[in-house]
Structure 1
Amino acid sequence: MLNRDFDDTREHLLATGEGIMLGKGFAAVGLAEILGQAGVPKGSFYHYFGSKEGYGVALLSRFFSRYHAILDEIVANPQLNGRAKLDAYFAGWCSVSCENSGNSRCLVVKLTGEVSDLSDDMRRQMQQGIAGIIERVTAFIVIGRADKSLPPGMPAETLAAALYQLWLGAALVTKVQHGSAALDAARAATERMLST
């Protein structure tokens, strides 16, 4: 039987920390700030997470679990052909990255460079989560090629990885420029990649 208090407090700590870290990053946020904003005593934190690094791994795991679930809904949507599934995915990038003058609501965009140097466990969690995204984008491409909404071309997984990396880079540049030019360029490059 699940302990409801355990689930709620743990989730509250993760949700609170995600909000703070989307603004400040991982290293700049101390446990005291998370606990103070969450209204949770320090002892409770260590009941759920062995360390700040362990908390970071859980935070990323939670983020990717939700992200993958959204993509799984797109994959399973019978009303969308493969190209429309890809378009829905890229529209999501724009809505997350273009709001708030380039302040992305995506933990991958916010933490990729930072945590890769700080923690091997967090880097591995990030790597695993990104692989799950690319796997789902690959499914969009495979579906699109099967229903003829996308032309044949390079291997679907290779194209999916290239598209993800293109859009991740564009989202990072968007943070610097505080404008949508990089994402507009990514969309134009995507059109070219999908038409050959």
Structure 2
Amino acid sequence: MKTQTKDTKRQILAVGRRLTAQHGYARVGLNELLKAADVPKGSFYHYFPSKEAYGCALLEDFIAQYRQALTETLNDTTRTSRDRFLAYFEDWKRKQTGDDLQDRCLVVKLSAEVADLSPDMSRILNQGVDSIISALTHTLQEGMSEGSIAALKDPNNIAKSIYYQWLGATLVSGLSCDDTALDAALRATQMAIPPA
């Protein structure tokens, strides 16, 4: 029974992520979600007392998966810290311009929407962003220690600036339907993190 419970909840979250990536959070109705997930309404409310609670679980699940992928990229011992740092953003560009909408960053997709809808969802997104910036800062510090990155005056501020630049570039790329902004962000990132 526990496996079925986990599977049903996982199914709702997986289908919800796909629909949210396609349409945004507010535009995905409960009936549409349940029909696509092939789950009865009672099952949804068994796992999530409200759509907001579901939204929080959706974001927590996304951030957990994102952290796992981030950890794999930033802990790849076959590369220098600088190469790992740049690989994270190269992968970001690839996912944002790829055909699979589920690969795209929900932080970008939902930031404006969630800020107006739910303080709890905003808090989850903020904590996710903070953890990403912390991991990026740590990679910059490792790079300076190992000698793959030149000395940086304030690694945390640089990590924040670069991450925020990528959020903005992703929005512009979505508006313009091309990757010019992401290409510019990648060049700026490469220049901001000079090799030692």
TM-score, normalised on structure 2?
Answer: 0.94
Superposition pairs for residues 33-72 of structure 1, below 5 Å? 33-72=32-71
Report the equivalent of 1:178.
Answer: 177
Give the structure 1 partner of residue 168 of structure 2: 169
- 1:101 CA displacement: 10
Equivalent runs, 1:98-137 vs 2, <5 Å: 98-100=97-99, 105-137=104-136
Q: Distance in 2 between matches of 1:103 and 1:73?
A: 19
Greater alpha carbon shift after TM alignment, 177-186 vs 150-159: 150-159
How far 1:154 moved relative to its partner? 2.6
1:78-117 correspondence to structure 2 within 5 Å: 78-100=77-99, 105-117=104-116
Deviations 1:163-194 (CA, angstroms, capped at 9, x unpaired): 11011111111100111100011012112211
- Using the TM superposition, give the Cα deviation of residue 162 of structure 1 relative to its aligned residue in structure 2, in angstroms: 0.9
Query: Any conservation in 1 of the 2:80–2:148 contact (CA below 8 Å)?
Result: yes
The residue identity in structure 1 corresponding to 2:46 is H
Report how far residue 76 of structure 1 moved.
Answer: 2.3
Name the CA shift for 1:170/1:101 in 2 (closer, same or farther; >3 Å): farther
**2:188 paired residue number:** 189
Residue of structure 2 equivalent to 1:31: 30
- Percent of paired sites with the same residue: 39
User: How far 1:152 sits from its partner (Å)?
Assistant: 1.0
Runs (4 or more) in structure 1 with deviation over 4 Å come to 101-104
RMSD: 1.8
When normalised by structure 1's length, the TM-score is 0.94
Cα distance, 1:77 vs structure 2: 1.8
Return 172-181 or 139-148, whichever deviates more.
139-148
Q: Secondary structure at the match of 2:49?
A: coil
Unaligned runs of 5+ in 2: none
Q: Shift in Å at residue 102 of structure 1? A: 8.9
Question: Cα deviation per residue 1:52-72 (whole Å; 9 max; x = unaligned)?
Answer: 111111111001101111111
CA shift digits 1:135-155 (9 cap, x unpaired): 111121111111111111232
Task: Please state whether the residue corresponding to 2:149 is helix, strand or coil.
Answer: coil
The alignment of Structure 1 onto Structure 2 pairs a total of residues equal to 195
1:22: which partner in 2?
Answer: 21
- Is there any run of 5+ residues in structure 1 with no aligned partner, and where? none
The answer to whether the 8 Å contact 1:75/1:85 transfers is yes
CA 1:52–1:88 in structure 2 vs 1: closer, same or farther (change >3 Å)? Answer: same
Task: Please say which of residues 94-103 and 49-58 is displaced more in the overlay.
Answer: 94-103
Cα distance in 2 for residues equivalent to 1:61 and 1:103: 15
Q: 8 Å contact 2:74–2:88 — kept in the other structure? A: no
